[in-house]
Amino acid sequence: MSRRAKWADLAPRVMTAAVLLAIGLAEVWAGGWVFALGILALCGLMIWELSRMLAPGAEGRALGLAVLGVLALGLGWLLPGLMALPLIGAAAIGGAGRFARDRWIFGLGCAAILLGAHVLWGLREEAGLAWLLWIISLVILSDIAGYFAGKTFGGPKFWPAISPNKTWSGTIAGWIGAALVGLAFGYSTEAGFGLVIVSVLIAMAGQMGDIAESAIKRRVGVKDSSELLPGHGGVLDRFDAMLGAALATGLLWGLGLIPGIA
């Protein structure tokens, strides 16, 4: 592969990422209903993409399931305690029943999307702005480090049967990037060195989110979840790692294993 071909996707990736980052940071900074609406919109788009991948041509079903998931999550936020969780489960299970094939993939995927969004919303509202910026930063830096290291050094593939473009060099670079984010946030928030280890673990979970979505795309025979984002494919393609990281964060947070978060 020529040098120009190797980096052909860089320009559209950078431009799309810059727009997404600007919009996302504005919503994160605003918090409240602005951030909630942004999260709900992303959830709806990802569920819509997942449904279309598993059942091409069923546009009405895809739209209906996206609306169902958004309503379940939004209503759950208005209820006390953990009432969002049974609503998320009901939306995932109910939606899965609409598929004759791969219903378990939709059920698990829908639940992951909604649970990941619930964790991100909880981080912003309960833990505070700094902790949401922490997870966003580690996912972004892990992705950037992995992209450039993989393109530059290449080498053995991480999981060629599922994601042929992922390399061990890129994977390890992603861990290093996450560790640097953990180091910076750990000592600026007094969470300490323990946050470095947690950040690497969460980056690994983010990479597994990427791998999981790649497995779904390979199963159904598509390259991208949609064509909404130039250079990135679909919304699910862009946020699969964030979902994996959010799910791991929610688990570790619930177990009290993230230093610095009350």
- pLDDT at position 237 is 94
Last residue of a domain, one of 108, 127, 146: 127
Would you state the torsion angle of the CA atoms of residues 199, 108, 211, 6, taken in this order, to the nearest 10 degrees? -110
One domain for residues 156 and 245: yes
Query: pLDDT (tens digit, 9 = 90+) per residue, 70-128?
Result: 999 999 999 887 889 999 999 999 999 999 999 999 999 999 999 999 999 999 999 99
Tell which of 100, 127, 154 closes a domain: 127
User: Over the stretch 178-233, which tens digit does the pLDDT of each residue have?
Assistant: 999 999 999 998 899 999 999 999 999 999 999 999 999 999 999 999 999 887 78
Tell me: do 18 and 144 sit in the same domain.
yes
Specify whether 123 is located in the same domain as 139. no
Phi, psi of 101 (to 5 degrees): -130, 145
- Same domain for 93 and 145, yes or no, is no
- Boundary of a domain, candidates 69, 92, 127: 127
Using DSSP, state whether 262 is helix, strand or coil: coil
Give, for 212, the enclosing helix (H) or strand (E): helix 194-220
Q: What is d(CA 34, CA 140) in angstroms, rounded to the nearest whole number? A: 22
Same domain, residue pair 89 and 211: no
Non-local CB neighbours of 197 within 8 Å, separated by 6+ positions? 182
Q: Is 231 helix (H, G, I), strand (E, B) or coil?
A: coil
Tell me which H or E stretch contains 170: helix 168-188
Do 189 and 65 share a structural domain? no
Same domain, 121 and 56: yes
Domain limits at 235? Answer: 1-30+128-262
pLDDT tops 90 at residue 1: no
Q: Single out the residue of 251, 167, 262, 147 nearest to residue 202, CA to CA.
A: 251
Write down the pTM of the prediction: 0.94
Measured distance CA(242)–CA(247) in Å, rounded: 9
| 24 and 97 fall within a common domain | no
Query: Do 133 and 170 belong to one domain?
Result: yes
Same domain, yes or no, for 212 and 134? Answer: yes
**Do 241 and 145 fall into the same domain?**
yes
Total structural domains in the chain?
A: 2
